[in-house]
Copies of this chain bind each other. A is one copy, B any other.
């Protein structure tokens, strides 16, 4: 089996590659080749005996997508995209990468005669826009309030039409906020959800810009990779025509996040969180979904962590080698 991953150098792309290398198989078939593409070169995966093609470039550039699928990868994990904040600041870049890039990939697949790969697309809960019901049902309309969310919702519609036409076997997963996101703090409005766990666990202070009562839905990077792999195994019959769906996650308040941190790492670690209310962040976060039903995902066998304690523990295991500072 030959697997193409777009956005392979990103956080989820790297973790997905590592997991696939460790598994050695996808859907019971041995993986013998990876094609890893991104705007910067992905690292060669350690411990993989098969072939690895690493390429860099703009998926929306003429011929780029055709070149990537010339060797007809059996499964394509399409993770590439510019993030929410960047798509909001740079209108042209957001549409170019997130919409035109996706469309170019789908068109390249359509034009390859007799080719019908599995395409697993990472969408986002940014496809939803307030006001919301108590919990967002699977049948809720997509009314994004960002250009990023718009581009993801459009890509979902394209994927569904190409799937319906028989050009590919598609599935789209709407990721909740990924927490705990490893790495340095960044300027994303959602950054604090990870920061208030990651920074204290590493011995650093973290800023909490919103109230303890803010409620949100989270899944660990490990769970996100699990969603992608599970999605790749679903059949057309299982999915039906509505191929994009919300993923499960842990729904909790910031207070509950902090309680989990204190339970696992002690009150001294939890005390490293400093409350500095930020009006702008509070206003942005107020427009985000709090709770998702994700009934179809549960029925289709997607699983996430059962509570926030498990999310904290996954971070300590996967990123800190089991050690707390």
Q: Give chain A's interface residues, CB within 8 Å of chain B.
A: 91, 110, 129, 133, 138-145, 147, 150, 153-154, 157-158, 160-161, 164-165, 241-242
Asked whether, in the complex, the Cβ of A141 is within 8 Å of the Cβ of B144, the reply is no
B141 contacts A140, C-beta separation under 8 Å: yes
How far, in angstroms, from A145 to B241 measured CA to CA in the complex? 8
Question: For A139, what are the chain B residues with a Cβ–Cβ distance below 8 Å?
Answer: 133, 140-141
Q: Are A161 and B150 in contact (CB under 8 A)?
A: yes
With A158-B150, A158-B154 known as contacts, the answer to whether A143 contacts B242 (CB < 8 A) is yes
Minimum distance in angstroms from A242 CB to a CB of chain B: 5
The answer on a CB contact under 8 Å between B160 and A150 is yes
**Which B residues are CB-close (under 8 A) to A140?**
139, 141
Contacting pair B143 A142 (CB below 8 A): no
28 of the cross-chain contacts (CB-CB < 8 Å) are: A91-B110, A91-B165, A129-B241, A133-B139, A138-B141, A139-B140, A140-B141, A141-B142, A142-B142, A142-B157, A143-B160, A143-B241, A143-B242, A144-B160, A144-B161, A145-B164, A145-B241, A147-B161, A147-B165, A150-B157, A150-B158, A150-B160, A150-B161, A153-B157, A154-B154, A154-B157, A154-B158, A157-B157
Q: How far is the CB of A131 from chain B (nearest CB, A)?
A: 9
Q: Which residues of B contact A141 (CB under 8 A)?
A: 138-142
Q: Which residues of B contact A110 (CB under 8 A)?
A: 91
Q: Please give the distance in Å from A236's CB to the nearest CB on chain B.
A: 15
* Nearest CB in chain B: distance from A129 CB, A: 7
Give the shortest distance, in Å, between A21 (CB) and chain B (any CB): 36
Closest to A110 in B: B91
Tell me how far the C-beta of A96 lies from the nearest C-beta in chain B, rounded to whole angstroms: 12
**A144 contacts across to B, CB distance below 8 A:** 157, 160-161
Q: How far is the CA of A144 from the CA of B147 in the complex (A)?
A: 21
Contacts of A242 in B (CB 8 A): 143
Most buried by B among A143, A165, A241: A143
Closest Cβ of chain B: how far from A147's Cβ, in Å? Answer: 6
Instruction: Give Cα A241–Cα B287 distance, bound, in whole angstroms.
Output: 12
A105 smallest CB distance to B (angstroms): 15
With a CB–CB cut-off of 8 A, which chain B residues contact A147? 161, 165
- Please measure, in the bound complex, the distance between the C-alpha atom of A160 and the C-alpha atom of B150, giving whole angstroms: 9
Give the residue name and chain of the B residue nearest to A138 (CB).
B141
Q: Pick the most buried of A141, A164, A241: most chain B CB atoms within 10 A of its CB.
A: A141
Determine the distance from Cα of A11 to Cα of B154 in the docked complex, in whole angstroms. 29
Bound complex: CA of A134 vs CA of B53, how far in Å? 51
Residues in chain B near residue A158, CB distance under 8 A: 150, 154
CB contacts (< 8 Å) of A145 on chain B: these are: 164, 241
Contacts of A138 in B (CB 8 A): 141
Chain B residue at smallest Cβ distance from A167 = B91
Give, as a whole number of angstroms, the nearest-CB distance from A162 to chain B. 9
A144 and B140 alpha carbons, distance in the complex (Å): 14
Interface centre among A138, A147, A154 (most CB of B within 10 A): A154
Separation of A145 and B110 alpha carbons in the complex (Å):
18
What residue of chain B has the Cβ atom nearest to residue A88's Cβ?
B165
